[in-house]
Amino acid sequence: MLVTTQCILLTDANFQSEVLEAQVPVLVDCWASWCGSFHQMNPIIETLAIEFAGQIKIGRLNIAASEQLAMRYDIRAVPTLLLFKDGQVMERVIGSVSKQRFADTLNALLPGSYSSRSRMACL
């Protein structure tokens, strides 16, 4: 089981309140323990959670434990990161991406940004 102090453990029970009803943008890290890229992305996600604390909420969703949510959001590969704002998916990132690219995307979701609708995917 993933243990972290910076990210919220998302489940079927708390997804509505933690993500869809959140007052700030939310980055959802869809992961599975069998995915090697998860271990590569983990330090980046943890660092972003610290850097964006109070501005963007970061949560982790184990797709093996939350199969209905994985199906609902069409998660077909891990890692997949979903960026929510006002309860809507604004970005979908598939695969490993650099910390700087994530930071730029997260900054675009913050109030006062010029664009929160750019699309980005990494395969």
Nearest-CA neighbor of 58 among 33, 82, 36, 34?
Answer: 82
Q: What pLDDT was estimated at residue 61?
A: 95
Q: What pLDDT was estimated at residue 45?
A: 87
Identify the CATH number of the domain in which residue 53 sits.
3.40.30.10
Report how many domains make up the chain: 1
Please list the rounded mean pLDDT of every run of 10 residues in the chain (123 residues): 67 97 94 77 87 91 94 92 94 86 84 49 34
Domain hosting residue 50, numbered range:
8-108
pTM: 0.81
What CA–CA distance (Å, rounded) separates 55 from 101? Answer: 17
CB atoms under 10 Å from CB of 79, counted, come to 25
Q: What pLDDT was estimated at residue 117?
A: 38
